[in-house]
Amino acid sequence: MATVKDLLEGKGYTVWSIHPDSTIRKALELMAEKHIGALPVVEDDKLVGIFSERDFARHAVEFSDCLNIDIPVRQLMTHPVYFVNLDQTVDDCMAVMTAKKLRHLPVLEEGKLIGLVSIGDVVKQQLQDKQSTIEVLEHFLWVNLI
């Protein structure tokens, strides 16, 4: 069964983050530039929140007449943050994401942010795992039918 470590080794450990005092505007610009949907919010090397497209959309609707995108990220970020570690399985990620309705999970090692897993990453890995199982079973059936 694939682990978070396996997943990150395939996709990479690069993670973009933002400081809680940075503006929403800066966060949105970074997310657009990097083609990502969420940014872990890090202060003094500690994960303190996460800011996502969903956070912005929900608050934009709430405050549509007066939304100021030059306010600090800390005002719209989600916290506390659910996270996973390297030895957890991809199924563990899916369970947390489904139960908590999350699209992104930071990966921590000894309290430090080392990666970010998206729902897309998890689904892709699960599909690859299922395809591998199908291929093994097809091979088993083919060998036993001959």
Boundaries of every domain in the chain: 4-145
pLDDT at 130 > cutoff 80: yes
Give the mean pLDDT of 122-128: 90
Cα angle at 76 between 123 and 79, to 5 degrees? 60
For residues 38 and 92, is the Cβ–Cβ distance under 8 A?
A: no
pLDDT for 1 equals: 85
Output the average pLDDT for the chain: 91
Beta bridge partners of 108: 113
For residues 105 and 83, is the Cβ–Cβ distance under 8 A?
A: yes
pLDDT at 144 > cutoff 80: no
CATH number of 4-145: 3.10.580.10
The dihedral sign for the CA sequence 34, 39, 40, 42: positive
pLDDT at 135 > cutoff 90: no
From start to end of 69-134, where are the E strands?
104-109, 112-118
How far apart (Å, rounded) are the C-alpha atoms in residues 47 and 127? 30
Whether a cis peptide bond, with omega within 30° of 0, leads into 80 is yes
